[in-house]
Amino acid sequence: MTAMDERDRVEGIEVPGSRLEFETQFGSEAACRAYLERVRWPDGFVCPNPACGGRHAWVTARGLHRCTACGRQTSATAGTILAGTRKPLRDWFELLWLAVGEDGVSAVALQGALGLGSYQTAWAWLHKVRRAMAAVSPELLMGIVALDVVSLASVESSTRRSVQSPTRVAIALDVSDPETGRVRLSPVPNSDRVAVERFVAGAVAPTATIRTTVKLRPAVAALGYQLDPLTLRAGRDVSCVHLDVAGRRLDDWIVETHHGAVRHRQLGAYLAEFAFHFNEHSSPPRVRFERLLEAMLAAVPGSARSLVGGADA
Ligand SMILES: [Zn+2]
């Protein structure tokens, strides 16, 4: 197959829908690069030099794009979370494909699937993916939003250790349509009111109506949100059931996908991953893959370690 054939396939078929299509379409490094370049430059090459704006480039032997106007060299991954990666793009594509699967992938499973030398490498890659997932669909929740703070039993859990202070997570769920309702989550240590307020302000649109518990109503009212006359009470109304289900799914997911290997200081990144799966569950795999790749190319580079506080999971 020539490089041109591969480029045609990428442009024609978009993203694959099945594992077989994935392996066929992204079977070579050239096919992966062609696809990635199309996602990065949907309207064709654009020189990154703001004073230039050139639209044409030569591709060098090392696969870099050299602007014909100013001579600057760049690549489709420059300035993105994938910048400077020494791993083949095929490995990254494989990782993203595994990561958008129904429940995601653990670092242990990823290490096995890609034959990576160390758990630390798999862990660091996955945290880059979680940073991108946090950037997918950042829109604020609208309509009627159920809000509560729930306890997670699964974080830093151990059968030999009793939970001294359960992990508290604020959860906001759009209950206007329970089938498509989106979720936003954030750790709130000790149910701290300031942390809850910061979360609500960053997750819920000012025009939304918030349905919440007696305890949280004053904080929500102080932020200026409209309060639903219904108060959240266990067993009383249907949105409370949806919140409970989301909370239980999160607990189960931490145990079943990540085998409980989630530490308090990394919880925010894992919550972003869970929210991605929850919110995108009705999208086909090809759509989830493309959204995640777009987010990977849009995210600002930086070390996973600086974001999540080290690989001790
Ligand atoms: Zn240029």
* Span from the CA of 53 to the centroid of ligand 1 (angstroms): 6
- Across 177-196, average pLDDT: 85
Cα 163 from chain centroid (whole Å): 28
Q: Return the closest-CA partner of residue 167 out of 141, 149, 193, 182.
A: 149
- Across 181-187, average pLDDT: 91
| Position 264 confidence tier, pLDDT thresholds 50, 70, 90 | confident
* Span from the CA of 46 to the centroid of ligand 1 (angstroms): 8
* Span from the CA of 169 to the centroid of ligand 1 (angstroms): 47
What is residue 312's predicted lDDT score, i.e. its pLDDT? 32
Which position has the higher pLDDT, 129 or 303? 129
CB-count burial class (<10 Å; 0-12, 13-18, 19+) for 157: middle
> What residues contact 288, with CB distance under 8 A and at least 6 apart?
100, 280
* Span from the CA of 79 to the centroid of ligand 1 (angstroms): 16
Which position has the higher pLDDT, 65 or 181? 65
Per the prediction, the chain carries an average pLDDT of: 81
The class that CATH gives domain 144-279 is: alpha beta
Distance CA 28, CA 41 (A): 20
* Span from the CA of 61 to the centroid of ligand 1 (angstroms): 18
* Span from the CA of 8 to the centroid of ligand 1 (angstroms): 26
* Span from the CA of 55 to the centroid of ligand 1 (angstroms): 8
Distance CA 89, CA 79 (A): 16
Tokens of 129: 């993916």
What is residue 285's predicted lDDT score, i.e. its pLDDT? 84
Tokens of 188: 């709130």
* Span from the CA of 208 to the centroid of ligand 1 (angstroms): 45
Domain boundaries, the chain: 144-279
| Position 17 confidence tier, pLDDT thresholds 50, 70, 90 | low
Tracing tokens 């990144």 back to the chain, one arrives at 269
Is the pTM above the cut of 0.75? yes
What is residue 163's predicted lDDT score, i.e. its pLDDT? 56
* Span from the CA of 41 to the centroid of ligand 1 (angstroms): 14
Name the H helices within 41-118.
Answer: 89-99, 107-114
| Position 95 confidence tier, pLDDT thresholds 50, 70, 90 | very high
What is residue 219's predicted lDDT score, i.e. its pLDDT? 92
